[in-house]
Amino acid sequence: MTKARPLSLITGASAGIGSAFARALAARAHDVVLTARRTDRLEALADELRGQHGVNATVLTNDLADPHGVEQLCAALDERGLQVDWLVNNAGYGVPGRFDQNDWPVHADFLRVLVTAPTELAWRLISGMRERGYGRIVNVASLAGHVPGSAGHTLYAASKAYMIKFSQSLALENLGIGVNVCALCPGFTYSEFHDVTGTRALVSKMPGFMWQRADDVVREGIDAVERGDAVHVTGRFNRTVKSLFKLMPDRMALRMSAKQSKRYRAQDAE
């Protein structure tokens, strides 16, 4: 690498796991590009990172639900001469309620943000990583991608399962050339996610041992991608859950998922 500092692009950087990634990478002397829809939050975070770590922090407000959002984001990077070494595909949210009770544009936007945009960003940026012989891609997936789907939030687990398989294939395609790809799979994480989906009251009933702090998730994720792990499930509890579901017969696993999902998924739109 010829640059003084690596450059990290973090999507969904305005809160939660995204802002935790930005802080952790800036603390490791990475310059950062922060993107999300909320400019005020991004600017506040950028000021914090410049002041605490002396790094360059660039804010590029962007809506990945826009079909041209990724193209516009990459054009903005090119205009500034910014070459991305670390891509953290973190942007995401949930759509509560039953599948048919939401309008199709709601689902279309969701799929663009959680599936199409991270895939396109990886496609647009990985060639430069390969040419330079160095790169890291962290696709923030979920424990939900390893267990049976739930009633309500219909597309969420499906999108995360896609990101896991996509990350595995991309990791295999880039073995031994200095480009590592990892699907990071947290479980319940303290963030705004459940406030946005309207399930805070439900998930607040979950016991504390099921939860992780965002900075702990991020620390595990950085270590995992540096090791070259194609998939990493964070936390001992979450790894146990994954293993148990893997051993169960499909019918039993689906019945258990149906029972447990009532505890934390909004299944019917009001």
Of 251, 248, 261, which Cα lies nearest the Cα of 150?
A: 261
Query: Tens-digit pLDDT profile for the chain (270 aa)?
Result: 446 899 999 999 999 999 999 999 999 999 999 999 999 999 999 999 999 999 999 999 999 999 999 999 999 999 999 999 999 999 999 999 999 999 999 999 999 999 999 999 999 999 999 999 999 999 999 999 999 988 889 999 999 999 999 999 999 999 999 999 999 999 988 765 544 544 445 556 565 657 799 999 999 999 999 999 999 999 999 999 999 888 888 888 788 777 776 666 555 543
Q: Is residue 41 part of a domain?
A: yes
1 lies in some domain: no
In a domain, 267, yes or no: no
- Between CA 55 and CA 113 the distance in angstroms is 28
Task: Please state the separation of Cα 195 from the chain's center in Å.
Answer: 17
- Give the C-alpha separation, 25 to 10, whole Å: 10
Nearest of 191, 208, 171, 199 to residue 263 by alpha carbon: 199
Range of the domain at 148: 7-261
- Ramachandran sector of residue 259 (left: φ over 0; alpha: ψ -120 to 50; beta: rest): alpha
Place of tokens 């990945």: 64
CATH number of domain containing 180: 3.40.50.720
DSSP labels, 166-191: HHHHHHHHTTTTTEEEEEEE--EESS
pLDDT of residue 4: 80
Predicted pLDDT of residue 191: 63
Identify the pLDDT of residue 267. 53
Instruction: Name the nearest CA neighbour of 117 among 88, 145, 97.
Output: 88
Residue 132 lies in a domain: yes
Q: What per-residue confidence (pLDDT) applies to 209? A: 59
**Of the candidates 144, 136, 189, 188, the residue with the CA atom closest to the CA atom of residue 167:** 136
pLDDT of residue 194: 45
Tokens of 151: 């009633």
Evaluate whether residue 54 is within a structural domain: yes
Which pLDDT score is estimated for 264?
60
pLDDT for residue 1: 44
**C-alpha to C-alpha distances, 12 to 9, 15, 111, 152, 248, nearest whole angstrom:** 10, 7, 15, 23, 35
DSSP state at residue 91? -
Check: CB of residue 237 under 8 Å from CB of residue 210. yes
Catalytic residue among 93, 134, 156, 190: 156
Q: Which helix (H) or strand (E) holds 88?
A: strand 86-89
State how far the Cα of 51 lies from the Cα of 105, in Å rounded to an integer: 40
Q: Is residue 28 part of a domain?
A: yes
Q: Is residue 269 part of a domain?
A: no
Alpha-carbon distances of 140 from 75, 143, 183, 220, 252, rounded to whole Å = 23, 10, 6, 12, 28
Per-residue pLDDT at 113 = 98
The residues pairing with 189 across neighbouring beta strands, listed in sequence order, are 212
Query: Quick check: 269 and 98 in contact, CB under 8 A?
Result: yes
Domain count, the chain: 1
**Residue 266 falls within a domain, yes or no?**
no
State yes or no: is 264 an active-site residue: no
